[in-house]
Amino acid sequence: MSERITLFAEVILPLPLPSTYTYRIPYEWNDLIKGGQRVAVQLGNKKIYSGLVRNVHSNAPNVQSVKYILSILDPDPIVSEKSFKLWQWIANYYMCYLGDVMSIALPSALRLRSETKVIINPDFDGDITNLEEDESLIIESLAKKEALSIDDVNKVCGKANILSLLNKMIKKNIIITEEELNSRYRPKVEDYIRLSDTYQEQEKLKELFSILESKKVMEKQYETLLTFLSLAKYPNAEIKKIELSKQTKFSPSAFATMVKKGIFINTKKVQSRLESHSSSLSIKNLILNQDQEDVFNNIISEWNNKPVTLLHGVTGSGKTEVYIKLIEKVIEKGEQVLFLLPEIALTSHLISRLEKYFGSKIGIYHSRFSLCERAEIWQKVCSPIKESRYDIIIGSRSSLFLPFEKLGLIIVDEEHDSSYKQYDPAPRYNARDTAIFLANLHNAKTVLGSATPSLESYFNAKEGKYQFLELKKRYSGTLLPEIFVADIKESTKRKEMHSHFSKMLVDHITEALKNKEQVILFQNRRGFALQLRCEVCGWIPSCTHCDVSLTYHKQSDLLKCHYCGYSVNILQQCGDCGSHKVKMVGFGTEKIEEDLEIFFPNARVARMDLDTTRAKNSYESIINDFQDRKIDILVGTQMVTKGLDFDNVSVVGILNADTMINFPDFRSFERAFQQMTQVSGRAGRKHKRGTVIIQTYNPYHQAIRDVIDYNYKGMYESQILDRKVFKYPPFYRLIKISIRHKEKIVLDAIADEFRTDITKIFGGRILGPEYPLIPRVKNYYTKEFLLKIERKESIAKAKEEIKILVEKFTTKHKQTRITLDVDPA
């Protein structure tokens, strides 16, 4: 026993603080506190937080008084040493604090703090007979007040430290944090049960029966097992729990005991809405074609030399099938697989395909899942019992932080997708790059897959850093869609434009509708939205808090700001010259939808963009309707470019390619190529070659020529040259430094001062300061610097110097905010 030694714990708080805080461990807990556990601690005079113990030591800190740890929230560590290494890497590489990483790594309910508000869990059955005194006190006041902050709860109970009690109540599903409730995303989840592998053997099952039969107290378990088997028909079948619980002989308590004993395995599965449509082939006997087989074999045989692979496969080439075989190979060895997707909600057909193949071994992790679901997945990822452990996790970027036991492979699908990068808040990390680091920590492999790889990954492959493999043909054998260009300038001259549609596009849509085929129209989000404009002086109303023009929203009949939500009624009069000739101009998805209804009155038109999909499940119902052919023409923004797999789409229209190409960003050609190619890939997938029509003012633009020719290499070669000449990634690393202040004049002065100081360190490597495209957002003005550092220079040293400088500026100018973005997207 180490009883009399004075021990201290370094605690990470879920706040942007530069370091850990030291707390003293009460003697009686010397043996109980370990790194990775949560503890309740006080910061300042009254704020209480749940912090995470990083490590325990005996070096007394150099301060007057050290506060004690108030309570232990977890009996065992919830964060492993490996995860801490990942957190530390992210903090160093992306220049943020450990507390920032903690804030995204742990589900919100694991981050209780004084300001957190709790409410009664809507799933709580209201039975208060079994509650402890404090618990019922809290429930009583919640019944009156609806929401209580943790400070309020302290007062109600007359105790200072209530976190461990609240934590318990959350675990028991009695209460829930408000944040949790608001972000509750309810996929359709159902419980499935099956017999554990052990009892699927005849002999063992017989033994089990005779044990259960022998004792009167086990009668209910005996009957539950019998009921299960009568429903399941085969010992290895899986049935919905709800089916079982409907039976008269079913006993919930006996069932719970049997799950605990490991007789039954209970898994939650996300119900796929596309289940009935997805490919009818039973993937259990999936056979790769020759090309896929070659790719698979090459990946495996080279894995030890090159643990990272880039798979460049055209849309429909069957990358998923290759992934499936790789996953199978890895889980056979008892290792886990993480399958990363850019946007979980947009890819449920892919999930259902994997679920069909791997069944209950798959867990799906989404940051919008409820606490219970996430907590369950969290436990099942690190479960020491092989039987109840998830072998495969499908998730968006936050699933990188799950407590994997033994990771063998990470797949990053659509690796080029910019939503892998978190913009705000810190940590501004890129999940693809972080995945490679995480895989390395576990000595695992990484496969990056895409039909349009990022320039960076393709470069790494060309340089020999990654293994490089290609799938050049569609699995079905159909050709990639034929792409035509409609010259808007010419068409306008010839008076052949129907509002925003060229004659060529109208003709193809008409033909498709006649053949009962479907159409997808893509309008870039950066395209013009509908705006009010004065015909006399050109005035456009703009937001009072941000430097953006307001756009018209038909549903609410208001002019709105996309950045802060500010809105006003439609104006009848120009705000500048007073003229009454104000008119709606523009070309948003909503306007296109309206126009289509005019030109194709018999077609069923639907729109998919941020506005129409904000409500729960609305995205799903649009997709379902499109899948069920209840929609003929689907108009949408970026969302329609991602992974949808329909086999009746014969025409894809890109309404205005120029808005993508002309966007002022060094990646705009690359992005334009990727988006146009991806959306083209939605045409004619299975039986018939599809058609794509690109409308543009610049039909001979190189980016458009490359899309038409499916010339990824051509795009790559011209772009990589530009990147080298103009000093951009992958040859240079970028760090974006943004300085923000409410006063424009003050900001200008501070930015100039910053420039002087940073130039002393980095010389000509620093660009700026410049106002971004939108200089003011939510009343803050922003000025940006861009630092370009040669690959071979030490980035660690540069980061250290920037940190010191930023520290100095934020101390000196209290009202200034500085954010750092490493590898900005």
Residue 472 burial class via C-beta count within 10 angstroms: exposed 0-12, middle 13-18, buried 19 and up: exposed
79 touches Zn ion (CB under 5 A): no
Closest CB to Zn ion among residues 686, 778: 778
Window contacting ligand ADP (CB under 6 A); options: 284-292, 298-306, 397-405, 595-603? 284-292
Q: Does 279 bind ligand ADP (CB under 6 A)?
A: yes
310 binds, among Zn ion, ligand ADP, none (CB under 5 to 8 A by kind): none
How far is residue 28's CA from residue 4's CA, in Å, rounded to a whole number? 9
Number of residues binding to ligand ADP, judged by CB under 6 A:
18
Which listed option, Zn ion, ligand ADP, none, makes contact with residue 502 (CB within 5 to 8 Å by class)? Answer: none
SS3 177: strand
Residue 410, classified by CB atoms within 10 Å of its CB into exposed (0-12), middle (13-18) or buried (19+), is buried
Half-sphere exposure of residue 751: CA atoms within 13 angstroms, side-chain side:
23
317 interacts with ligand ADP by CB under 6 A: yes
Interface region with ligand ADP, contact rule CB under 6 A, candidates 144-152, 283-291, 502-510, 768-776: 283-291
Tell whether residue 320 is a contact of ligand ADP (CB under 6 A): yes
Q: How far is the CB of 449 from ligand ADP (least distance, A)?
A: 8
Local structure of residue 687 (DSSP, 8 states)? S
**Which listed residue (255, 264, 459, 566) binds Zn ion by CB under 5 A?**
566
CA distance 22 to 90: 22
Q: Taking CB under 5 A as the rule, which mask of x and - marks residues 568-597 in contact with Zn ion? A: ------x-xx-x------------------
Residue (220 or 682) nearer to ligand ADP, CB:
682
Residue 641 touching ligand ADP (CB under 6 A): no
Q: Of 50 and 315, which has the nearer Cβ to ligand ADP?
A: 315
Sign of CA dihedral 179, 181, 187, 193: positive
Residue closer to ligand ADP, measured from CB, 192 or 323: 323
Residue 321 binds ligand ADP (CB under 6 A): yes
Q: How far is the CB of 347 from ligand ADP (least distance, A)?
A: 10
Is residue 666 within 8 Å of residue 455, measured between CB atoms?
Answer: no
Contacts of 502 (CB under 8 A, 6+ apart): 486, 487, 488, 491, 496, 693, 695
Strand order in the sheet with 392-395: 362-365, 392-395, 336-340, 407-413, 445-450, 308-313, 467-471
Is 475 a binding residue for ligand ADP by CB under 6 A? The answer is yes
Q: Does the protein bind Zn ion through residue 546 (CB under 5 A)?
A: yes
Taking the complex as a whole, the smallest distance from the CB of residue 670 to ligand ADP amounts, in Å, to 20
The structure tokens listed for 305 are 């030399």
Describe the crossing of helices 795-812 and 744-762 by its angle, rounded to 10 degrees.
150
Ramachandran area for residue 739 (φ above 0: left; ψ -120 to 50: alpha; else beta): beta
**Does position 274 bind ligand ADP by CB under 6 A?**
no
First-last CA distance in the chain: 53
Cβ proximity to Zn ion, 561 vs 592, nearer residue: 561
Choose the one of Zn ion, ligand ADP, none that binds residue 165, judging by a C-beta under 5 to 8 angstroms depending on kind: none
Are 543 and 564 contacting, i.e. CB atoms less than 8 angstroms apart?
A: yes
Q: Per CB under 6 A, does 395 bind ligand ADP?
A: no
Rounded to the nearest angstrom, the gap between the alpha carbon of residue 707 and the centroid of all alpha carbons in its chain is 28
> Which is it for the CA torsion 507, 513, 516, 519, positive or negative?
positive
Helix, strand, coil percentages, rounded to 5, for the chain: 40, 20, 40
CA within 13 Å, CB half, 804: 8
Question: Binds 321, which of Zn ion, ligand ADP, none (CB < 5 to 8 A, cut-off by type)?
Answer: ligand ADP
- Which of the listed partners (ligand ADP, Zn ion, none) does 313 bind, with a CB threshold of 5 to 8 Å by partner kind? ligand ADP
Task: Find which of Zn ion, ligand ADP, none residue 249 binds, CB within 5 to 8 Å per kind.
Answer: none
Whole-angstrom Cα distance, residue 719 to residue 355? Answer: 39
CB closer to ligand ADP, 292 vs 648: 292
Helix (H) or strand (E) holding 352: helix 348-358
Sign, CA dihedral 286-290-295-301, equals: positive
CB under 5 to 8 A by kind: which of Zn ion, ligand ADP, none does 292 bind? ligand ADP
Q: CB of 279: closest distance to ligand ADP in angstroms?
A: 4
Binds 281: which of ligand ADP, Zn ion, none (CB < 5-8 Å by kind): ligand ADP
Task: Give the Cα separation of 775 and 755 in Å (integer).
Answer: 18
Smaller CB separation from Zn ion, 397 or 776: 776
Q: Is residue 450 part of the contact set for ligand ADP (CB under 6 A)?
A: no
**∠ CA(55), CA(59), CA(64), 5° rounding?**
110
* Chain position whose Cβ is nearest to ligand ADP: 318
Q: 494 in helix, strand or coil?
A: coil
Annotate each residue in 287-306 with x if it binds ligand ADP (CB under 6 A) or - if it does not, as one string: xxx--x--------------
603 binds, among Zn ion, ligand ADP, none (CB under 5 to 8 A by kind): none
Residue 339 phi, psi (nearest 5) = -110, 110
DSSP per-residue string spanning 389-417: S-SEEEE-GGGGGS--SSEEEEEEETTT-
> Does 479 engage in binding with ligand ADP (CB under 6 A)?
no
CB of residue 744 to Zn ion, shortest distance in Å: 16
**Closer CB to ligand ADP, residue 288 or residue 558?**
288
Q: Does 316 bind ligand ADP (CB under 6 A)?
A: yes
The token duo for 196 is: 């554990």
Selected range binding ligand ADP among 108-116, 299-307, 312-320, 789-797, rule: CB under 6 A: 312-320
Least separation in angstroms between CB 273 and ligand ADP: 17
Minimum CB distance to ligand ADP, residue 353 (Å): 7
User: According to the binding rule CB under 5 A, does residue 19 interact with Zn ion?
Assistant: no
Residue count of the chain: 825
- Report in angstroms how near the CB of residue 525 gets to Zn ion at its nearest: 17
**Interface contacts to Zn ion, rule CB under 5 A:** 534, 536-537, 539, 543, 545-546, 561, 563-564, 566, 574, 576-577, 579
- Which stretches of the chain bind ligand ADP, using CB under 6 A? 279, 281, 286-289, 292, 313, 315-321, 475-476, 645
